Amino acid sequence: MGRSNFAPEKKVDVKFTDDYGISEGAVDNGGPTREFFQLCLHEIKDRTGIFEGPSNSKILTCNSKAMKDNGYYYAGQIMAMSIGHGGQSPCFLSGLLYDCLHKGPDNIKVAPEEIPDEDIKSKVMSADTESQLQDAVMQAASLISLAGHSVRITLANKQETAFDLAHWFRDGLKALGVLDELLRYPVQLKSLFPKPEKGVMAAEDAECEDSVSLEDILVSFSGCESLPALGFSPKPSLEFISYSRFPVANTCENILRIPFHNAYSDFKTDMDFAIRNSPGFGRA
């Protein structure tokens, strides 16, 4: 992504290889791309150190290495590319961070309880007098400077200061026009960033606590944990087979092939086993 000729709008062509560098050889008709972006989003969310907070409600955090490496910009760009190239949506941002994206950080007021950084929360938010606040600011100076905030902090603006972070990767979301559409249709696009209150649901055995979830089934035959913003192409379909005791998936064609069994208990056991062990390209 750092190459001068990199263009996020160009078609993505993904090939997965084994430890010896040998690829599976199939043409990428959508399945590998979707799984690639799923892996990228997991990496951004959990391993880059630019987000903090609950798994499905992340906000940005201070990371000097990511700032130096342009990591916030690239994270936003990957999110935009996943949406634009048919991958899953990055639905793990907090509602507060989404508000910062479409309204601008300067227009968001943050309550102390909404800030997960305990250092800022305890040192800045607990200040009752101007003197206490400035002492706390000095102790948390490194965090505040990393946030790119240059305005003098006062009792009147301390809440805004503690969460003036969203601009770090906002420019990356401009790729493929995603930020422009977010600003134009903030209500309609909100479901792509914060996790929906209700996930993929159906009145099936898949909702049982000890069974696979519908998200697990979705990953196994499409490479996505959530519905892509642009929908599936081609439309998902179901087929029945007799040549295997386990289900078989085609992630490029979005086909889930279901085996016949004489007993429902055997069918359920084999389905659960296969779907739980299918994540990872080439296994489904």
List, by residue number, the catalytic residues. 252
Contact 246, 219 (CB under 8 A): no
DSSP conformation letters of 192-234: GSSPPSS-S--SSGGGSTTS--HHHHHHHHHS-SS--TT--SS
Closest CA to 124 of 96, 150, 161: 161
Closest CA to 186 of 80, 87, 59, 101: 101
Amino acid in position 167: H
Contact 218, 200 (CB under 8 A): yes
Sign of the dihedral defined by the CA atoms of residues 94, 96, 98, 101, in that order: negative
C-alpha to C-alpha distance for 88 and 200, rounded to whole angstroms? 13
Residue 263: CA atoms inside 13 Å, Cβ hemisphere, count? 4
DSSP conformation letters of 235-262: PPEEEEESS-SS-EEETTTTEEEEEP-S
Give 220: exposed, middle or buried? Use CB within 10 Å, 0-12, 13-18, 19+. buried
How crowded is residue 219: how many other Cβ atoms within 10 Å of its Cβ?
25
